[in-house]
Amino acid sequence: MATETLARPLSSTATPPAGARSGRRMSPGRIAVLVAAALLAILWMVPFAWATATAFKSETDAAAPKISWIPPSGFTADAFVKVFQDGNIPLWTWNSLYTSAAITAITLVISALVAYALSRIDFRGKKILMTVIIASIIVPPPVLIIPLFYQMVALHMIDTSWAIILPQVIHPAMVFVLKKFFDQIPRELEEAAVMDGASRMRIFLQVVLPLSRPILAAVAIFVFIGAWNNFLWPFIATNDGAVLTLPVGLQTIKSAYGIQYAQNMASALLAALPLILLFLFFQRQIIKGVATTGLAGT
């Protein structure tokens, strides 16, 4: 009886675990991070909301000196209708999808093979090659435009899809990111596969790549977005309307009445819409891939 009476007050006054208390209350640091993230999200949404509102205005309301979110004459989709009438949106969208997907696939193959070789294979000149790859990350892409253009001319690829695809399949930054991830994969898994008689390529395909799905998905999305948004190189390498990408094709839609603000905003929204949908569908893969790159600790 005495033990029962002693046990009752002890059990009634027992404190909950530290994890339970921390789960109910957020620390001031976490609250500050959430508030800062919310403010940044609002700052990002304001220009996007303004562009959307302008795209659904008439050209008269869009060019009015008085700033207003709601146009006096009401919202209209005339700017989008004009863009679709003056340009070949379906063809340009297909060209962008085709070239961006091809660039992404080829980049993944090249970057993954190079990163795996740098991570697992010891060969002469490995440090020099890694130094060159890291140094090439800081080279501005416009510096390479002239030599790449002459190279495409020599290969007779101007005004073809290959002129858009081939110069964009080399991404030193993606090689570096993949190498950092491959370095974190335990070598014991590969050693066990070697003992079972697996070749180097089989280990790469059946052991390393399945473990690297998050980072491969993130790299694929980043490369696809970069290829889709690229305007300068496709603009220089193509003149034929049949191979124009969406960002380049939309810039060919011009009016004789000067700047058309509503039409320009409508074109920008049409070019950005596929990327917004891509992020909404694959945001978990992007976040997970970035979190597993190992760059946070470098």
For the chain, what percent of residues have pLDDT higher than 90? 13
Measured distance CA(80)–CA(253) in Å, rounded: 12
Q: Return the H-helix or E-strand segment holding 251.
A: helix 246-251
Write the pLDDT tens digit of every residue in 202-244. Answer: 888 888 888 888 888 888 888 998 899 888 899 998 888 788 8
Q: What are phi and psi of 143, to 5 degrees?
A: -65, -30
Residue-level pLDDT at 103:
95
* pLDDT for the residue 143: 87
Instruction: Read off the tokens for 127.
Output: 């440090």
DSSP run (H or E) holding 218: helix 213-229
**Residue 178, Cβ neighbours under 10 Å: how many?**
25
**Residue 2: its pLDDT value, please?**
46
Between these two residues, 8 and 188, which has the higher pLDDT value? 188
Mean pLDDT throughout 87-95? Answer: 85
21 pLDDT higher than 50: no
pLDDT band at 291 (very low <50, low <70, confident <90, very high): low
Average pLDDT of span 49-78: 80
What pLDDT was estimated at residue 293? 53
pLDDT at 29: 80
How many CA atoms does the CB half-sphere of 112 hold within 13 Å?
A: 21
Averaged pLDDT score across all residues of the chain: 81
* Digit-coded pLDDT (tens) for 93-147: 899 999 999 999 999 999 999 999 998 888 888 889 888 988 888 888 888 889 9
Q: Is residue 3 scored above 50 in pLDDT?
A: no
> Which carries the bigger pLDDT value, residue 15 or residue 47?
47
**How much is the pLDDT for 286?**
67
Q: What is the pTM of this model?
A: 0.76
Higher pLDDT, 208 or 9: 208
* Fold classification of 80-297 (topology level): MetI-like fold (1.10.3720)
Q: Where are the domains of the chain?
A: 80-297
Q: What is the pLDDT of residues 148-188, one digit of tens each?
A: 999 999 998 888 989 999 999 988 989 998 998 888 888 88
